[in-house]
């Protein structure tokens, strides 16, 4: 066993690790020892390739069908216009009473703080989101503060993005101070892919900043495949757990990535061994450019029933869809 100290996420500065990310398809393919014909590659200037070295290290070299590679590799299939696939697949824009604040569900609001991410997932439902309206430089703008003050029924703020942990500790600290001015907000949920794809981000300094929040913290990881969990990010996740915070995971069901019950069962066990509860299994949001990841309803239900037969109830994620206009995530009933 490799001693944890060797794999301490804090041995390297997260910003320099981020700076080593892959930005060019050719560089990533070279690194992974994979050849891909030009006509198979997608050109997506608004949403280019971005992959951390940590994530790239987990891709099986020489395997063009690797499930981690397929999540981040821009393909020509993205360029196809498919009926029913939209820019705002989950209705965020209709639910923004104040620029940069999404209020869809009772008791909670979501702040898509930044468009920046450490990796660009090709199925991302916010790949077309107008982040210019959403960005915060730390302290919340007056209009958001007034909205939070007016809505005393709110209990929870969800930090999202992009990836909220791409913000510096200083900006996050300003944000926490703003939230602490609203004593009715007792829960702060942080949705972040960095927790698994850039574990160096989980530092004592970051946890100090977040723990200044006057309430409970909940971390939501976004892990789609068991190969995404390995010793380095397990150490980072363990640190969060040891600080006493709840960890949940959401997974998106993706064709050729995780559309096998055995894969999802293995993911659930691996999450649990990393102190994370499998929370949601999302069907694909119908965002333009993602149709090649879609799975039919029939196959989804067959897969979920098989998964149900393999897992104890506490490891079975809830199968849900995000349907615009609904008051909560919609459970998919498979009969
Ligand atoms: S990390 Fe999240 S917000 Fe960023 S591209 Fe991936 S799914 Fe989208």
pLDDT tens digit string along 183-223?
Answer: 999 999 999 999 999 999 999 999 999 999 999 999 999 99
Residue written as token pair 């979920």: 304
* pLDDT value at 1 more than 60: no
User: For residues 259 and 299, what is the distance between their CA atoms, to the nearest angstrom?
Assistant: 9
* Cis ω for the linkage preceding 162 (within 30 of 0): yes
User: For residues 113 and 124, what is the distance between their CA atoms, to the nearest angstrom?
Assistant: 16
| Chain centre to alpha carbon of residue 309 | 27
Mean pLDDT of the chain: 91
CATH of 93-331, one of 3.20.20.70, 3.30.379.10, 3.90.226.10, 3.30.1380.20: 3.20.20.70
Determine what percent of the chain is predicted with pLDDT higher than 70: 93
Tell me, using a 6 A CB cutoff, whether residue 120 lines ligand 1.
Answer: yes
Q: Which numbered atom of ligand 1 lies nearest the CA of 193?
A: 1
Q: What is the pLDDT of residues 267-295, one digit of tens each?
A: 999 999 999 999 999 999 888 889 999 99
Distance 228 CA to ligand 1 centre (A): 15
Tell me, using a 6 A CB cutoff, whether residue 122 lines ligand 1.
Answer: no
> Which tokens in the block code for residue 51?
């992959």
Tell me, using a 6 A CB cutoff, whether residue 282 lines ligand 1.
Answer: no
What separation, in Å, do the N-terminal and C-terminal C-alpha atoms of the chain show? 45
Distance 192 CA to ligand 1 centre (A): 8
For residue 42, what are the CA distances in angstroms to 66, 113, 258, 261?
Answer: 17, 28, 22, 29
Where is pLDDT greater, at 45 or 313? 313
Task: Show me where the domains of the chain are located.
Answer: 4-79, 93-331
Tell me, using a 6 A CB cutoff, whether residue 281 lines ligand 1.
Answer: no
Q: Which residue's CA lies nearest to atom 3 of ligand 1?
A: 162
Q: What's phi and psi for 269, nearest 5 deg?
A: -65, -40
Sign of CA dihedral 96, 98, 102, 107: negative
Where is pLDDT greater, at 100 or 88? 100
* pLDDT value at 157 more than 90: yes
Going by C-beta distance under 8 Å and a sequence separation of 6 or more, which residues neighbour residue 285?
Answer: 89, 90, 123, 125, 252, 322
User: For residues 331 and 312, what is the distance between their CA atoms, to the nearest angstrom?
Assistant: 19
Tell me, using a 6 A CB cutoff, whether residue 161 lines ligand 1.
Answer: yes
Tell me, using a 6 A CB cutoff, whether residue 112 lines ligand 1.
Answer: no
Reading across the β-sheet that carries 246-252, which strands appear in turn?
108-112, 156-160, 187-191, 216-222, 246-252, 277-282, 318-321, 330-331
Average pLDDT over residues 297-315: 97
Average pLDDT over residues 14-32: 96
* pLDDT value at 144 more than 70: yes
Rounded to a whole number of angstroms, the CA Rg of the chain reads 19
pLDDT for the residue numbered 302? 97
Average pLDDT over residues 89-109: 86
> Which tokens in the block code for residue 255?
């064709």
β-pair type (216-222, 187-191): parallel
Nearest C-alpha neighbor of 171 from the set 161, 186, 156: 161
Q: Which residue's CA lies nearest to atom 6 of ligand 1?
A: 121
Residue 136: which pLDDT band, with cuts at 50, 70 and 90? low
Distance 128 CA to ligand 1 centre (A): 11
pLDDT for the residue numbered 92? 74
Q: Look up the pTM and report it.
A: 0.93
Average pLDDT over residues 71-92: 84
Determine the 3-state secondary structure of 108 from DSSP. strand
Residue 128: which pLDDT band, with cuts at 50, 70 and 90? low
Q: How many CB atoms are located within 10 Å of the residue 258 CB?
A: 25
pLDDT for the residue numbered 291? 92
Tell me, using a 6 A CB cutoff, whether residue 124 lines ligand 1.
Answer: yes
Average pLDDT over residues 87-110: 85
Average pLDDT over residues 110-120: 92
pLDDT for the residue numbered 135? 58
Distance 307 CA to ligand 1 centre (A): 25
Nearest C-alpha neighbor of 156 from the set 117, 193, 185: 185
Write the DSSP symbol of residue 320.
Answer: E
> Which tokens in the block code for residue 184?
């009715």
Distance 150 CA to ligand 1 centre (A): 31
Determine the 3-state secondary structure of 242 from DSSP. helix
Q: What's phi and psi for 108, nearest 5 deg?
A: -150, 145
Nearest C-alpha neighbor of 197 from the set 283, 71, 75: 71
Using an 8 Å Cβ cutoff, are 189 and 215 in contact?
no
Q: Among 89, 192, 193, which residue has the most ligand 1 atoms within 8 Å of its CB, making it the best to mutate?
A: 193
């Amino acid at each position: 066993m490799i001693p944890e100290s060797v794999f301490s996420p804090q041995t390297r500065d997260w910003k320099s690790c981020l700076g080593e990310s892959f930005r060019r398809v050719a560089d990533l393919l070279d690194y992974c020892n994979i050849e891909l014909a030009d006509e198979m590659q997608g050109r997506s200037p608004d949403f280019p390739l971005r992959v951390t070295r940590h994530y790239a290290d987990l891709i099986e070299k020489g395997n063009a069908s690797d499930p981690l590679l397929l999540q981040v590799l821009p393909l020509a299939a993205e360029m196809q216009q498919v009926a029913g696939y939209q820019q705002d697949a989950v209705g965020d824009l209709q639910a923004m009473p104040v620029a940069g604040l999404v209020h869809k569900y009772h008791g909670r609001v979501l702040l898509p703080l930044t468009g920046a991410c450490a990796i660009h997932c090709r199925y991302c439902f916010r790949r077309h989101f107008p982040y210019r309206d959403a960005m915060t430089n730390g302290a919340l703008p007056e209009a958001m503060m007034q909205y939070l003050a007016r809505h005393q029924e709110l209990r929870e703020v969800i930090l999202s993005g992009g990836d909220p942990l791409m913000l510096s500790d200083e900006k996050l600290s300003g944000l926490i101070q703003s939230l602490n001015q609203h004593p009715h907000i007792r829960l702060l949920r942080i949705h972040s892919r960095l927790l698994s794809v850039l574990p160096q981000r989980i530092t004592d300094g970051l946890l100090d900043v977040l723990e200044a929040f006057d309430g409970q913290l909940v971390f939501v990881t976004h892990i789609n495949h068991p190969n995404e969990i390995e010793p380095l990010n397990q150490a980072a996740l363990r640190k969060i757990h040891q600080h006493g915070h709840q960890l949940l995971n959401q997974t998106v069901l993706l064709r050729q990535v995780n559309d096998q019950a055995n894969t999802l069962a293995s993911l659930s066990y691996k999450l649990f061994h990393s102190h994370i509860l499998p929370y949601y299994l999302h069907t694909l949001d119908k965002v333009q450019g993602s149709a090649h990841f879609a799975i039919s309803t029939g196959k989804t239900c067959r897969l979920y029933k098989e998964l149900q037969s393999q897992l104890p109830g506490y490891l079975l994620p809830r199968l849900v869809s995000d349907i615009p206009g609904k008051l909560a995530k919609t459970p998919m009933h498979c009969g």
